[in-house]
Amino acid sequence: SSREAVTVIGLGSMGSTMARTFVAAGHPTTVWNRTPGKADGLGAVPAATAAEAVAASKVVVISQVDYGAMFESLADADLQGRVLFNLSSDSPERLRKATEWVAERGGTLVTGGIMVPPPGIGQPGSYVFYAGSEEAVAAHQPTLEVLGRVDHVGTDPGQAMLYYQAMLNIFWATLISYFYSATLVGNAEQLRPYVATMLTDLAEDGPMGFLRILTTALDTGTHEGGDNNLHMQAVGAEHVVQAFTEAGLDVTVPGAVAALFARADAAGYGADGLSALVDLIRKPN
C-alpha cells in the first residue's frame, strides 16, 4: 500500500469509526484500547500494549475521553520520532501541557478538535481543527484528510480546542434554546419551520442577516442601538422569562439571557445595540 501506516489509540465510538475509516481508505492500521476486545471486527491489527501500538506507526491518532487518558496510556511508550494527533476533548491549557509532555518524550503532539459525531467521520462536511506544528500537519495531510477537511488554526496547541469549544457553545446554545421554545409552544413540529427560516436568515445576507451585521459590529466595536436598543431587549427578555414561569417551566437558560441583558442595561448600555454585550463578556461579574 502507498498509504502510510496509522495507529489509532482509543476505540470508543469515535476511535473505532476512525480506525474503520483508515482501513477502508487503505491505510495499514494498528489499534489499541484500554479495555480489550474493542478491536474485533475493525479490520485493523490489534496491538497487545499501547507502547507496541505506538511502535507500529509513525502517525498515531488518539481519541480518548480526555488527555488524562493519554498520559496514563502512553506513560511507558517510546514516542521518539512519533507524530501524535490527539483528537480528544480537553481544556486549552491541558493541551499546552500535553504538548510539553509529548515533546519531553521525543514526540510531536498535534492537537485536534473533530467537528462531527461518529457517523460523520470521513463524510462530506467533516472537518477537524488542528493546532500545533504546521509542518507535522502538512507532512501528513493526505492521511488526516481521510477523517475530514484539515483546518490548521494556529501554532498554539490550545487553539484547536478553543475553536472546537467555540463551535460546541453555539451548537448547544442554539439547540437548547430550541428545546426551551418548543416546550413553551408545546408542539415542536409547529415551531420547526419558523426556527429553520430564522437560522437560515441569520446566516444569509438580508435584513435579518445579523450574523454578518453583528460581526462587523464586533470587529469595529461600534454597537449602534437605534430603534432596537439593549434596554428594550432587556424588557423583552424579562417577558420571555415570565412566559416560561407562567407555563410552569424551567427558566435557567432564558433567565441567564435576561440576567445578562439586565446587567448591561444597569451598566449603562441601554441605548446601545445587542453586540454591546461583548463588553460584559470581557468583564465577568
Residue numbers at the binding site for ligand NDP (CB under 6 A) = 10-15, 33-35, 38, 63-66, 69, 72-73, 88-89, 114, 117-118
Residue with nearest beta carbon to ligand NDP: 12
Closest distance to ligand NDP from the beta carbon of 253 (Å): 22
Closest distance to ligand NDP from the beta carbon of 11 (Å): 5
Q: Nearer to ligand NDP by C-beta: 112 or 270?
A: 112
Q: Is 155 exposed, middle or buried (0-12, 13-18, 19+ CB in 10 A)?
A: exposed
Q: Nearer to ligand NDP by C-beta: 114 or 257?
A: 114
Q: Nearer to ligand NDP by C-beta: 21 or 233?
A: 21
Q: Which three cell numbers stand for residue 122?
A: 470521513
Closest distance to ligand NDP from the beta carbon of 31 (Å): 10
Q: Nearer to ligand NDP by C-beta: 82 or 223?
A: 82
Closest distance to ligand NDP from the beta carbon of 118 (Å): 6
Closest distance to ligand NDP from the beta carbon of 192 (Å): 23
Q: Nearer to ligand NDP by C-beta: 22 or 261?
A: 22
